[in-house]
Each structure stands twice: as C-alpha cells, then as structure tokens.
Amino acid sequence: MEILAVMGSHRNGHNTQKALDFFLKQIKADHELYLYNVNKISVEPCKACDYCVDHQGECIIEDDDMREIYKRLETCDLLIIASPVYFSAFPSKIKALIDRTQMLYNLKDRSIIKKKKMVVIGVGGAPHYPRQFQAVVNTLEWYQKYLNCEEIGFVQFSHTDEVGALENKDGLKKLAELGEKVNALAADIEN
Ligand SMILES: Cc1cc2nc3c(=O)[nH]c(=O)nc-3n(C[C@H](O)[C@H](O)[C@H](O)COP(=O)(O)O)c2cc1C
C-alpha cells in the first residue's frame, strides 16, 4: 500500500508530529511511505495564473517539491493529513500545498487519480470549542471530492497547549483503532 502523509505543523517534534508518528506506528505491514514535513519541503504558493487550465497536468512552478507530491497524490492508497489549527484553520505552509493541488482540480480528466482513503489528525491548542476544526473540515470536503478520497477517520486533539498529544488517552485510543482499520484495508488491498 502506498501512503502519503503530510505533517503540517510549523514546529518539528511537537504535538502534530508526535500524533502522526504514533499513528504511523500502528500501521503494521511494510508499506511504501512518503512522509512530507512542511518545514523540510519547498512549496511555493499557487499563483492563481490558470496555467494548469490550458496546460493540463502541468503547473507553471516547476522547481519545487510539488512536482513529486502531485505524483504521490495521484497514486497513493492512503492520504494522511496531520495538522494543527492556526486561527481555527490550516496553517499557511500546508495550506499552500493544498492550494497547489488546484492543478489536479483543473484536470478535465481526473481518472489518473487513484481512489484512496483519507485520515485526518487535527490538533488545537485550546480546549475544544465549537467549530475548532470546522475550517479544516470545509477545506477537506472539496479536497476529498477531487482527489478521489474517502475519509475513514478524523481524530481531534484539543487542548494541546496544556495536555500534550501523547498524554491524551482518548485521542491515542482513537488513533490506535483507526490504525487497525487501516491494517484491515491494507490486507484487503494486498490480497
Ligand atoms: C499562529 C497560531 C494560531 C493558533 N490558533 C489557534 C486556534 O485558533 N485554535 C486553537 O485551538 N489553537 C490555536 N493555536 C495553538 C496550536 O494549534 C497548538 O499550539 C498546537 O499544539 C500546534 O501544533 P504543534 O504542537 O504540532 O506545533 C495557534 C497557534 C499558533 C502558532
């Protein structure tokens, strides 16, 4: 199974990365894992130039890491998005990556994009409040549609500024359960 995971926090080694690492450890079989940490890749913001409308499958920005990420988005079986919320929304680096997939959105024929499952891990520093992750849900609603994704779980870690992700037993239990679900799916794919 091919897995594409995006770590969207601007801080390495903090709650988002810890929760993502914990989740990845639950996935047992040997998979092809492509892990992108937004702090270690280069992704320019979308120029909104519409080049990809007339040049199907191409982006005018050719010299950053989206070139490789586009390929992974087309071929992966599981997409994992792990991100904190900043002002209740996706932080700018991962949002840039999401916006750049406009190139795939603009494809007239999206049949090259493999059907995939999606897992979301949301992290918020404040205690849970209504709509803490609503903007993330709204963004991913469209993302899922055109990337041919089916969301199989969205695990939320709130209050991380006081209670670290790895101290959140309920969150970890949910991630472990979701890991089991992924293991079952992987077994299906491989058989
Ligand atoms: C610019 C900024 C804005 C933030 N806005 C929110 C917010 O709106 N809601 C919230 O619950 N936490 C907010 N936080 C807190 C982060 O979500 C929290 O610190 C989280 O643990 C960050 O992820 P990390 O630990 O992986 O770096 C904000 C943090 C920053 C830096």
Query: How far, in Å, is the centroid of ligand 1 from the Cα of 44?
Result: 22
Phi and psi angles of residue 99, each rounded to the nearest 5 degrees, phi first: -60, -35
Whichever domain contains 7, its CATH number is 3.40.50.360
Query: How far, in Å, is the centroid of ligand 1 from the Cα of 27?
Result: 27
Gap between the Cα atoms of 182 and 13, Å rounded: 24
pLDDT of residue 34: 97
Gap between the Cα atoms of 119 and 178, Å rounded: 8
Nearest in space to 65 (alpha carbons), one of 44, 81, 49, 50: 44
Where is pLDDT greater, at 143 or 57?
Answer: 57
> Which residue, by CA, sits nearest to atom 27 of ligand 1?
11
Is residue 190's pLDDT more than 80?
no
Total domains in the fold of the chain: 1
Q: Is 88 in the pocket of ligand 1 (CB under 6 A)?
A: yes
3-state percent helix, strand, coil for the chain, nearest multiple of 5: 40, 20, 40
List the strands of the sheet with 78-84, edge to edge: 32-37, 2-7, 78-84, 116-123, 149-157
**Cα torsion through 149, 74, 181, 36, rounded to 10:** -110
pTM (whole model) above 0.95: yes
Query: How far, in Å, is the centroid of ligand 1 from the Cα of 85?
Result: 5
Gap between the Cα atoms of 78 and 80, Å rounded: 6
Q: What is the extent of the structural domain holding 159?
A: 2-190
Q: What are the pLDDT digits (tens) for 13-53?
A: 999 999 999 999 999 978 899 999 999 999 999 999 999 99
Mean pLDDT of 52-67: 97
Q: What are the pLDDT digits (tens) for 88-132?
A: 999 999 999 999 999 999 999 999 999 999 999 999 999 999 999
